[in-house]
Structure 1
């Protein structure tokens, strides 16, 4: 850790592997355990040492913890400052894990949607950006990847899409906002909905294969809000607390920015 961050100047660590959640009892006498179970009970102390050492070398260091497609062991969560979707099998898992980990770690916890190539169609940026997650990609350039990374070449067509989403992400920077997980139930509300508050603005994300009906904008404050579809740049009118249900028609996703109207 001292060499990687302190000497080489890397800005973080990605700790990756299913083995990080737990270990077996240790019977090696050279390790001087009082009893074999100490290795199990003190695993989180090891990760605390890793985290504290990294942050001492660089107070801004990112220490990402990814248990490779498995659930997180809650006792390790205090010693990471970025958690990814951990090899999701669908876009729904990206969003579900985001909601769950924000509930465990806090509204402003840094959650990453994992490589966009793992989402539906390999290009569902909306499921990461809309819920206030950190974006990532593992495209290859200038040559095609091999094995499981094949077909990830950054073609001109793909680059245009990647660039648009990266610009939206950078402009809104929703990971710095507060995820309002209590406003919507991911199992019962239709369409699926998420909300993020950043400064005085609210950002809503709705998801469905196709939707033609209404959506509810919960959590609005006093006064009127100007609504914008911030992916397509379309004005959607205004809404208030008492008139927060608006008509909506979309395929796959709808991203709305609600900005207070100055009196």
Structure 2
């Protein structure tokens, strides 16, 4: 079943086509990687899908319904979750309270509370923290956590609306190799358990090639490749655009360092 269908999506910033006539789909239970060099249009594409930016042209359909023009909060409540490159949590609140706020927002209770927020949705929040391996830290303030653990809390918040589609913008940025592979393996497990569609951007090719079901590639706003991991890894055009040379992708397994690009202009920033 197709969860997200993008058709001819275009976004202009002055004379720059940040996203240029892009079309692709994401199916339920699919873990789809969106890759490309810096400035390729990945984050702009994400921001249009979840309503932060309005496209100049094209259509975005979620579960068969066009969501173009809807505000982010409406798209969130329809079942589209999101995590960000820089983790977005309330640092002074506890881990549990952060997830409770996600559940309160999903239940549209933010402006109608007659009980203290700390007593609402405690058990569902603890269950979400258990699923991401953070239940033991429920009473700790988020500011006390290591960055990899903050990313797990952000994932629990994103799951608070039981999303059918999860958008993850560079989920492993700033994480050590073992942390990032553990996090992506966890997300892949949740994809299978929940039959959830995931669209994620990622600069670590080891993570992409070890875990993605399919890969799409943007370059200068255009979609230049869409296919299975092996096909994308061996695609000469992708190698040329992504690495700035004809150098081939690494065939090494997850946990090893991917080959470094040879030019600064197209270099993905290492975490």
Q: TM-score, normalised by structure 1?
A: 0.31
Q: TM-score, normalised by structure 2?
A: 0.30
Radius of gyration: which is bigger? Answer: 1
Higher relative contact order at CA 8 Å, sep ≥6: structure 1 or structure 2?
2
